[in-house]
Chains A and B, each alone.
Chain A
Amino acid sequence: NAGVTQTPKFQVLKTGQSMTLQCAQDMNHEYMSWYRQDPGMGLRLIHYSVGAGITDQGEVPNGYNVSRSTTEDFPLRLLSAAPSQTSVYFCASSYQTDTEAFFGQGTRLTVV
């Protein structure tokens, strides 16, 4: 099994550009989530989904959109990139909300 796959691994954007970070899992997990990781801040929840067609906001949702049209995919969209969105982004999935979460390898995003 591939587990959780994130693409791209690295990305540089100019301020104001938009882009989509892709996340796919092949474990048939219902719960998927996006985090950003900044130095000294730990992992902060951006958006999450408890199943196809259902999404909700986490701790830091501003500037990001998500959708969950299939169980497998959970893309994260940056609407208009800002330097404050420079971070490492992780996608995670789990069978349920109270079971082990599996993480992707991360996307390192730099906004200039």
Chain B
Amino acid sequence: GESVGLHLPTLSVQEGDNSIINCAYSNSASDYFIWYKQESGKGPQFIIDIRSNMDKRQGQRVTVLLNKTVKHLSLQIAATQPGDSAVYFCAAVRGQFYFGTGTSLTVIP
């Protein structure tokens, strides 16, 4: 199987600062990883993904870093905005999706 855990259940950042959300997984055979954002009362929304043959991938204001040696995944959000306030999940995929419990990000204006 697979076990996915996030390092911090909550994170508060000032508007305009960068946010870093960390995630650890247990199974080195997992080869696909996704970050999701979930706003209150809504379903999870895809943010960015990365495959195990990469160690970094960038999107618009977001970057995902993958360290396969220590089985660690991080999501970096640049210039955090109030609209980024949400719960963020990472998922490790190996035949099925294994989700972490989520980090609640609060952006302080």
Which A positions have Cβ atoms within 8 angstroms of B?
4, 33, 35, 40-45, 48, 58, 90, 92, 97-106
Contact = CB atoms under 8 A, between A and B. Distances in A.
Contacts of B97: 33, 43, 45, 92, 101
28 contacts: A4-B43, A33-B97, A35-B99, A40-B101, A42-B4, A42-B99, A42-B100, A42-B101, A42-B102, A43-B89, A45-B97, A90-B43, A90-B44, A92-B97, A97-B95, A98-B93, A99-B32, A100-B34, A100-B46, A100-B49, A101-B34, A101-B46, A101-B97, A104-B43, A105-B42, A105-B43, A106-B41, A106-B43
Interface of B: 4, 31-32, 34, 36, 41-46, 49, 89, 91, 93, 95-97, 99-102
Contacts, number: 49
A97 B93 contact: yes
A103 B93 contact: no
A39 to B, nearest CB: 9
A43 B42 contact: no
Given A97-B95, A98-B93, A43 B44 contact: yes
